[in-house]
Amino acid sequence: MSTSLTTWVAAIGTLALLSFAWRENKFYSLFEHIYVASGAAHALVQGVKNIRANAITPLIGGQLIAIVPIILGLLFYTRFIPGKAKWSRYPIAATVGVGLGQNLPRLAGTNFMSQIRASFSIWTFNTVLVLVSIICVILYFYFSASEKAYKIIKYPTYFGRLIMMMAFGALFGNTVMGRLSLMIGRVSFLLQDWLGIVG
Amino acid sequence: MLKKLQDLDSRIIYLVLLVAISLPMFNPLGLPVSVIEQTRRVYDFIEELEPGSVVVMSMDYSPGAAPEIHPQAIAITKHLFSKNMRVMFMGISQYASQFARDAIKEALTLHEAEYGVDYVDLGFKPGEEATVTAMGRNVHNTFPEDTYGTPVSQIPMMADIQDANDFAMVIAFDSGGSRHYYVGQINSLYGTPIACALNSVNVTNTMPYYASGQVLGILNGVRGAAEYEQMIGSLGTGTTNLDSISFGHLVIIFFIIIGNISYFASGRKPSKREVR
Amino acid sequence: MKVAKLISLVFAIVLILQFFFVSDTINTFGNTITSWNIVIAAFAMGLAAINLIRIHVIRIQLKRENWINSLVLIIVLVSQAGVGLFLGDDSSQYMFFFDGILNPLGATMYALIAFWIASAAFRAFKARTIDSTALLTVGIIVMLGNAPVGEVIWSQFPVLQEWLMNVPAMAAIRALYIGAAIGGIAVGVRVLSGIESGHLGAGE
Amino acid sequence: MYKNLWGCNLMTFANNQFFAFISFILIVGFVVYKIVQAQNGKIPAIRRIAGLDAIEEAVGRATEMGRPVHYSPGVGALDAATFAGLELLDLVAKQVARYGADLIVTIRQPIVLPIAEEVVKTGYRSAGVEEAYNPDSVRFISQEQFAYAAGTMGIMEREQVAANLMLGYFLAESILLAETGFKAGAIQIAGTDNRSQVPFFVTTCDYVLIGEELFAAGAVASQNPLKLGSIAGQDLAKIYAIALLVIGSVAANFGITAISNLLSK
């Protein structure tokens, strides 16, 4: 049986959340609130650490330009001031702009072009199957086909849907292993680290 | 009889699963696990790196994925320290430092490594993809201090690490999506080799990067950790949990089969409507 | 509203050019924007904490139903943040919060899903249509390929699983990536051109 | 490789990004072209989407059986999937108003609540039966993910819903909702852009809208010309992608190096 306070708190919290499987209860919702609080506190601490490293220190070190992101960042908090919420639009716009500016070219380069280039392989049974499957799955998501055109691509879209279902089957199989591993992790924590009744 | 089984109380099903995964913990069977190609390639690549190469370990997983990815991080850290590589820990997920510190502690029980010379922890940096891009261009600007607040300029090993061209390899321990940023912003622009250590749910959607060679190898959840532990000869939680995975899978498959038999036995034909 | 859309457009275009072209002028602008983004994103990380404090303080004042939970939430949030900021997030006191609450409870939240998969496997995962039959068959093969016991039952399961993962599954996901790239760029065009600005609070 | 374009010093392409840039410009061009065309009145025809047509059938069945329709626009806040979910809610609200069935909408995000109420109210108004609108048909359950799931499961079991529509962004709670709907014997139509939840919907629901199908269904339901134009533009880009795949693959296998080199620049 473990004697460390941290392990005991973790064990009680684990049992509280697992009790949701029995039925929703007060013990569960108390520890859910504790979990939500801990997550928010951790984000706040990590946020402050990075503001100090990437903004405050350079600002003190003389880089006056570093004041701009600090002002934009502070504008996020106008959401909590009634009537001033529209000022939070500017940091949101900046983050969205940077997000899209990073994401869109990568989508064109890595997700679009590199994946197409990777399909230019010498034809074997597998590579041809891959090429045909890719085309059929793309056709499945082709929406503006006229009735006449749709008749031609109807059967390829059936094949595309079947290939997609096999992919979702693989995703399903891996998801089951993932969730099982999490449950196994918690059970072995309770039996081994907390109760110590396992080898 | 099968029809009555359908409305079995869920809690009995939960109990059956709990028993199935706890039994092997009491007396492990130690079923052998074969190492698959996508895991071996990560191990072989590290084996061929000459000592002192810079390997970036990007710790981008959350507590919800840690039971699958953290055993992988421990195994790979042990391997890198044993080959005395220079390891740069960092992350774009807010839990990076906490998990890095634990992996380093485990690895130091087996191998010698000195902070600031053999490894450094630059900690977490918000900003998602933009931060990965910025790091690729200039590491010192992006990470002015390490996670303990020491200016990076005072850390000996960081002297000759300026940008992505100085990385021999990046390993993305990822449950949130950082692998897409490393493939798109680092591998595509600098050719830096990328390996992925993932929770199982993300393995399927990383296969295209593996097939196109943008990612050199993938570790798949607890099984990947067990395979890697076997290769470096230092067994850990990956191996010990593997028997429970086998039993858990058997129970789930058994339920699916029994459920379908009773479904068809009770005359409910598959719905024709959905022929499309 | 206009200025906000302009900020998004200018930041996006500079970074798009920086990705495709090698030019020192654009690099300086782009690097400044990305370093600003780190600081802005760091500020955003505090929003959740402030929002929670605001909601739950109100709940305590109004003595709403089980306001005790809200009080506990505030105490945990303030004490963990205090320890993290003043003693540092690598202090052993902070590790109590991380190893005692955040890490174990985070894992347990997702572990619960294993229970639900088990009950749904028995009750709801039916091979009712062609799609669900294909999905369940491949799912079971991948599971048997992943689990060491699968190899014991039939040595070919891992081989079959590797083929399923590397050919049909990879092809479909690759096609979804190509489709998602096109979809993502289309959303980018609509947001940057201002057609869609729900996120700026203008509503559609 | 190219002389300076915008007065910056020499601009050369980052390694092998030339054709990625060409593709990027083309895709943007296709989308803008089709949106402009749609704005000038040339609305593209979108093919039938199985899940979309099944919604009317589900509402009809619920009316016959005198049991309510449950609708969830997902657990997301203001993201693309939630917008599509709210557009489809507008379609469902109109049909529910016309058939006289009763509707229960469960909400997780506070910010989505007022929008959903507005959508359902206008649905009843446009069907001319505004007085039949029942204010507590739209219910805020809880912002915590699994508390929302538990609350919604309770409602579906108590009310024995005849149709369970789940259209929007979903996370791990999808499997709880889908299993409860299956147990209640409801006809289930689900749609999400979160791929890792699609397998759980496929195995438990009668119809599933996968990723882009949800957005296409939302655009069709909203009849918004800009969105329909954007979908047609994306289709053009898909033809471009298929062309690249075929040309590049043929070039690689018949050693037509000119094309292969161009595509790999």
Assign domain D50-222 to its CATH architecture.
3-Layer(aba) Sandwich (3.40)
Whether B18 and B97 map to the same domain: the answer is no
**Nearest Cα residue in chain D from B190:** D15
**Nearest Cα residue in chain D from A165:** D199
Each residue's pLDDT expressed in tens, for chain A with a length of 199 residues = 888 999 999 999 999 999 988 888 889 989 989 999 999 999 999 999 999 988 888 888 888 888 999 999 999 898 888 888 888 889 988 988 998 899 899 988 888 999 999 999 889 999 999 999 999 999 999 998 887 888 888 899 999 999 999 999 999 999 999 999 999 999 999 998 999 888 6
> CA–CA separation, A83 vs C185, rounded Å?
34
- Which of A:100-139 have CB within 8 Å of D? 104-105, 108-109, 112-114, 116-117, 119-123, 131, 134-135, 138-139
Whether B93 and B200 map to the same domain: the answer is yes
Q: Is the pLDDT of residue C24 over 70?
A: yes
**Secondary structure element (H or E) that encloses residue A57, with its range:** helix A57-60
- Chain A residues with CB under 8 Å of B68 CB are 178, 181-182, 185
Q: Is the pLDDT of residue C141 over 50?
A: yes
**Nearest Cα residue in chain B from C143:** B249
Whether B224 and B267 map to the same domain: the answer is no
The closest CB to that of D14, out of B7, B189, B205, belongs to: B189
Total structural domains within chain B: 2
Listed by start position, the domains of chain A span 123-199
Residue D117 has phi, psi (to 5 degrees) of: -60, -45
> CA–CA separation, C119 vs D176, rounded Å?
10
Listed by start position, the domains of chain D span 2-43+225-264, 50-222
Residue B267 has phi, psi (to 5 degrees) of: 80, 0
Is-contact B229 B201, C-beta < 8 A? no
The closest CB to that of B200, out of A161, A178, A192, belongs to: A178
- Chain C residues with CB under 8 Å of B187 CB are none
Each residue's pLDDT expressed in tens, for chain D with a length of 265 residues = 444 455 444 456 766 788 888 999 999 999 999 999 998 988 888 888 888 889 999 999 999 999 999 999 999 887 778 888 998 999 999 999 989 888 999 998 888 888 888 889 888 888 888 888 888 889 888 877 887 888 898 899 888 999 999 999 998 889 989 988 988 889 999 999 888 899 999 988 999 999 889 988 988 888 888 889 999 999 999 999 999 999 999 998 888 888 878 887 7
Is-contact B78 B110, C-beta < 8 A? yes
For residue B274, name the pLDDT band (cuts at 50, 70, 90).
Answer: very low
Q: Is residue B32 part of a domain?
A: no
CB contact under 8 A, D241 and A138: yes
Q: Is the pLDDT of residue C63 over 50?
A: yes
**Nearest Cα residue in chain B from C155:** B34
Q: Is the pLDDT of residue C135 over 60?
A: yes
> CA–CA separation, A54 vs B122, rounded Å?
13
A145: three-class secondary structure by DSSP: coil
B205 contacts chain D (CB < 8 A)? yes
Nearest to D162 by CA among D68, D92, D96, D91: D68
For chain C, list the contacting chains (3+ Cβ pairs, <8 Å).
Answer: A, B, D
Whether B229 and B125 map to the same domain: the answer is yes
CB contact under 8 A, A120 and D24: no
Q: Is residue B86 part of a domain?
A: yes
Q: Which residue has the higher pLDDT, D73 or B235?
A: D73
If DSSP states are collapsed to H, E and C, what string results for chain D?
CECCCCCCCCEEECCCCHHHHHHHHHHHHHHHHHHHHHHCCCCCCCCCCHHHHHHHHHHHHHHHHCCCEEEEEECCCCCHHHHHHHHHHHHHHHHHHHHCCCEEEEECCCCHHHHHHHHHHHHHHHCCCHHHCCHHHEEECCCCHHHHHHHHHHHHHHHCCCEEEEEEECCCCHHHHHHHHHHCCCEEEEEECCHHHHHHHHHHCCEEEECHHHHHHHHHHHCCHHHHHHHHHHHHHHHHHHHHHHHHHHHHHCCCHHHHHHHHC
Return the minimum-mean-pLDDT range out of B31-45, C184-198, D163-177, D248-262.
C184-198
Q: Is the pLDDT of residue B271 over 70?
A: no
- Using CA atoms of C112, C117, C119, C120 in order, give the dihedral in degrees to the nearest 10: 140
Residue D109 has phi, psi (to 5 degrees) of: -90, 125
Q: Is the pLDDT of residue C25 over 50?
A: yes
Q: Which residue has the higher pLDDT, C99 or B274?
A: C99
Nearest to C175 by CA among D24, A141, A172: A141
b (16+ CB within 10 A) / e for D168-187:
bbbbbbbbbbbbbbbbbebb
For residue B3, name the pLDDT band (cuts at 50, 70, 90).
Answer: low
> CA–CA separation, D67 vs D105, rounded Å?
14
At B183, the amino acid letter reads V
Whether B204 and B102 map to the same domain: the answer is yes
* pLDDT confidence of residue D8: 46
Size of chain B in residues? 276
CB contact under 8 A, C185 and D28: yes
- Chain C residues with CB under 8 Å of B34 CB are 151, 158
Rg of the Cα trace of chain C?
25
CB contact under 8 A, D50 and B276: yes
The chain-wide mean pLDDT, for chain C, equals: 88
Sheet holding D163-169, edge to edge: D138-140, D103-107, D69-74, D163-169, D187-192, D207-210
For residue C199, name the pLDDT band (cuts at 50, 70, 90).
Answer: low
- Chain D residues with CB under 8 Å of C178 CB are 238, 241
The closest CB to that of A57, out of B144, B213, B221, belongs to: B144
Query: How much is the ipTM here?
Result: 0.88
Q: Is the pLDDT of residue B122 over 90?
A: yes
pTM of the shown model: 0.89
Q: Is the pLDDT of residue B176 over 80?
A: yes
Burial of A122 (0-12, 13-18, 19+ CB in 10 A): exposed
- Chain C residues with CB under 8 Å of A128 CB are none
The chain-wide mean pLDDT, for chain B, equals: 90
Report pLDDT digits (tens) over B199-230.
999 999 999 999 999 999 999 999 999 999 99
CB contact under 8 A, A109 and D195: no
Q: Is the pLDDT of residue B48 over 80?
A: yes
Beta bridge partners of B169: B55
CB contact under 8 A, B10 and C119: yes
- Chain B residues with CB under 8 Å of D183 CB are 7
- Which of A:142-171 have CB within 8 Å of C? 160-171
Token representation of residue D165: 């529509």
For residue B275, name the pLDDT band (cuts at 50, 70, 90).
Answer: very low
For residue B273, name the pLDDT band (cuts at 50, 70, 90).
Answer: very low
